[in-house]
Amino acid sequence: MKCLIVLLFAALNLPLVFAAWGYTDNGNTGASLVFSIDTTNGDLSSIKYKGKEYNGYNRKNSHIQSGFGKSDVKIQQFTTPANIIKVTVTYGTIIQTYIARYGNNNIYMLTRKGDNTVPALRYIVRMIANQFDKSTNDADYQDTPETPVEAQDITRNSATTFTKSKHYSGAADGRTMDYDYVGRTSSSVGMFLIRSNHEKASGGPFFRSLLRRATTAEEDLYEILYYNMGTTDPERFGLQGPYLLSFTDGGAPSTNLFARRAEYSWMDNLGITDWVPASGRGYVSGVGISNMKSGHTYVAGLSNANAQYWGTAAASGGAYRINGVLPGTYTLRIYRDEIEVSTRSVDVKAGAGTAVNTITPSDPSDTTAIWKIGGWDGTPAGFTNFDTTPMKPTYMHPSDGRLASWNPPNYIVGTSNAASAMPGYMWVDVNNDQLIYFKLPAAQTATSHKVRIGITEAFAGGTPKISINGWTSPNPAASSQASTRSLTVGTYRGTNHMFTYDVPASAFLAAGEYNIMKITIISGSSGVTYLSPGVSLDAIDFL
């Protein structure tokens, strides 16, 4: 079967016979995928699988961000180690590379960004709509009629009252570490965007961001290389990829293409700017983790200003290994679920391994509490509206009619449960001043106590302040968080932060009486309803 890779001046709308205007390779590749690249701007202007077109809508093609302007486009053909065609698109400080390899149905892509001239970085595969199966109930499918809810990219269906957005994955695998690809399938075709290892991306293993979008007229798949919505990481520059667009006859893509197991030594000699082969990388090998909590997942993460990596520790003993790491000094963080329980520095050298001795975590759940609401896991799991899997606010706007009230009844320690009486999100303009009732025995009323409130994210400087009966805490300093939208775009993932409050004995009522603790969100900023200052709760306890 013929595979045609065509480089044409697509903007001139010339027929194929005028190939003198560009470059055509009509070799026999043994594959069913044919794609074209516009030499004026480097767009993918055509993507055909078995003769059927899948690319584009409304005169828009597939490309980085919203597409480049006039670009320098070059093509090379290699015969070793296989028949390979490489197209390099240079636009300012961005270099976009497309690679076709003999005998497969993949478009391999790499993106090198030299600076912040482009404010974010994502590859958008724009697809002709309605060629693949999907449900109108999908969280990212915006049907008609739709009413804007927020910033035009979040809408509400007037018939179902469901909120929809490209920000909402609608699946349990919305975190970066949980998915290898996004895509669409039909009975005869599968079209998949297989993500890169994200070593130069931002956000870490638990980052949530847009994955795909669909309307009745348009469909997109995204590879997010840097997205500043909700991330607290710095932007990293350099080469990202490979990531790839892969076609099947309806089945799932090959697991050998996934970033965590793909073998790319065949790219070593293709002249890709900033490419680092396996021989120029090292690895980190952890002996284990002590005091592990049964039923919880432990993740080891590496990060510095230049790169990020992660790996899951063994459920028994906690051994872990992170391969393919660029040389440098990294912060190694151990997470139980999504809460950080250990931090140290490690050095990685090219062609060598770095061993890390057994780590003993400093876990906030090891401290015995008199009472506790929620669990120290770095997520709002178990709180009101976060008591199901997947957690509803990760694929709904907080105003969605399927959610319970964000203002549940006051929480009574020993009687209430978090799922029905303590909201996972709090905002100044929605459900501020949540009350918690609790009693203390005589011996505990005569001494001071400590209150801990953990958050996983704060919006617009939202910071919890407490009062107990007639006593009020000082105003805590705000945590370090992203400056963009967060709680309304399907993510609670920010910077985990624990606020502690030292409460004097004089604050408490006599034994057997209900003490009333009030949590008030304060901020130097303002906003309306779900865009007012707010926080995502992790846990609250009383020591």
Instruction: Give tens-digit pLDDT for 458-476.
Output: 999 999 999 999 999 999 9
Q: What is the mean pLDDT of residues 437-463?
A: 98
DSSP-derived secondary structure for 471-527: EEPPPPPPPP--SS--TTTT---S--EEEEEEE-GGGPPPTTSPEEEEEEEE-S---
Q: Which fold has domain 278-362?
A: Immunoglobulin-like (2.60.40)
- 307-351 pLDDT tens trace: 999 999 999 999 999 999 999 999 999 999 999 999 999 999 999
Over residues 253-304, the pLDDT tens digits come to: 999 999 999 999 999 999 999 999 999 999 999 999 999 999 999 999 999 9
**What's the average model confidence in pLDDT over 22-36?**
62
pLDDT for 80 equals: 79
Which segments of the chain belong to CATH 2.60.120.260?
Answer: 365-542
Report the DSSP beta bridge partners of residue 90: 72, 95
CATH class of 5-266: mainly beta
Q: CA 307, CA 202: separation in Å to the nearest integer? A: 8
Question: Is residue 361 within 8 Å of residue 291, measured between CB atoms?
Answer: yes
CATH of domain 365-542: 2.60.120.260
Of 6-20, 408-422, 513-527, the one with minimum mean pLDDT is: 6-20
Q: Provide the pLDDT confidence category of residue 169 given band limits of 50, 70 and 90.
A: confident
- Reference 425, options 515, 501, 517, 489; nearest CA is 489
- Give residue 421's pLDDT: 98
Instruction: Cite the residue boundaries of each domain of the chain with CATH code 2.60.40.1120.
Output: 278-362
Over residues 442-446, mean pLDDT: 97
